[in-house]
Chain A
Amino acid sequence: MTQPLAGSIPQSVSIPVIPLREFLPWALFGGLLMLLLIYFVGAEQGATSLIHGRIVHEFVHDGRHLLGFPCH
């Protein structure tokens, strides 16, 4: 696993490792925001509702079915 890949670019480029202290805040806030977006496309107004009504569900209805989320 640790050998460089043969036939790839010459090994002049060193891979920067991002320190965890720099990575974590982005991962936390970015990750949460992304999961919230996926929740609105995939599950809002199905089993749980943050917004009253059915408008979000009906609007993304086709995408929800085709992307594999449970619906109705």
Chain B
Amino acid sequence: MTRTLLVRGMLVGLVAGLFVFAFARWTGEPQVDRAIAFETSMDHAKGESPEPEMVSRRIQRGIGLLTGSVVYSSALGGIFGLVFAFSQGRFGFCSPRALALRIAGLGFVSVALIPSLKYPASPPSVGSPETIGIRTAAYFLAIALSLAAMIFSLQLARRLTRRFGVWNGSLLAVFLFFLLTIVFSRFLPAIDEVPPTFPASLLWKFRIASWEMQLLLWSTLGVLFGWLTERDRNAHSPVR
């Protein structure tokens, strides 16, 4: 059972990865290209020669982007399947579709949205190589804290709903989650390495594209996984 759900999650993730790749080619790549052109012009202005290309741009934006999207999405899909396997029947959701969509929504908020509000996606030429260590550590710490806040709020939501009713209890839990994320965001190091002359519209478009990719990924996971699991369960149930 767990194996089936894990494999299903990975396959759904693979499909989602193909969507993400197509979408990234369409909306994200033009921004990456413009950012690299900006970087090159900055290097020229400083009299430095641009970094030599180890991997050609054609490969980076083709098979490289495809590999990155598909591997990342499949792995996330696998974890999604495991979380679904643990959650089913434990949290009172009867329909696999509703449960899958719920996990996808909460996963998007805690893994993608909240960490990116503190540390948004950045195009090439934003971010200095010397700070990669602290930036990587802070980013993964933000994801871990956000996930912990989500799990804690969900646990508390069960008690709160029993005490204050479903509506008020859920609202309280949501409020608690955002309060926790705001507090830990204040204590994580601030990172602002956008060059002063970097085009604002380019940064905006890049970040919107990145959010849209995450939204596409998580909604595909939720909808497709729920649909397949519901279909599978209906096929196996004795009463049709």
Q: Kindly list chain A residues whose C-beta atoms are within 8 Å of the C-beta of B28.
A: 62, 66
Indicate if B3 sits at the interface (CB-CB under 8 A): yes
Contact pick for A63, options B65, B93, B116, B230, CB 8 Å: B65
Q: Which residue of A lies closest to B85 (CB)?
A: A18
Is A62 touching B65 in the complex (CB atoms < 8 A)? yes
**Cα A9 to Cα B97 with chains together (Å):** 11
Chain A interface size range: 35 or more
**Cα A11 to Cα B120 with chains together (Å):** 43
Q: Kindly list chain A residues whose C-beta atoms are within 8 Å of the C-beta of B55.
A: 55, 58-59, 61
Chain B interface size range: 35 or more
Q: Kindly list chain B residues whose C-beta atoms are within 8 Å of the C-beta of A5.
A: 93-95, 98
Known interface pairs A5-B95, A72-B132; A62-B32 also in contact (CB < 8 Å): yes
Q: Which residue of B lies closest to A42 (CB)?
A: B72
**Cα A64 to Cα B67 with chains together (Å):** 11
Interface residues of B in 103-136 (CB under 8 A from A): 112, 115-116, 119-124, 127-129, 132-133, 135-136
Which of B68, B91, B135, B206 has the largest number of chain A CB atoms within 10 A? B68
**Cα A22 to Cα B89 with chains together (Å):** 15
Known interface pairs A18-B86, A59-B59; A40-B71 also in contact (CB < 8 Å): yes
Q: Which residue of B lies closest to A62 (CB)?
A: B65
**Cα A58 to Cα B158 with chains together (Å):** 46
Known interface pairs A1-B158, A26-B85, A34-B75; A64-B237 also in contact (CB < 8 Å): no
Chain A residues close to B by CB (< 8 Å): 1-5, 8-9, 11-13, 15-18, 22-23, 26-27, 30-31, 33-35, 37-38, 40-43, 46-48, 54-55, 58-72
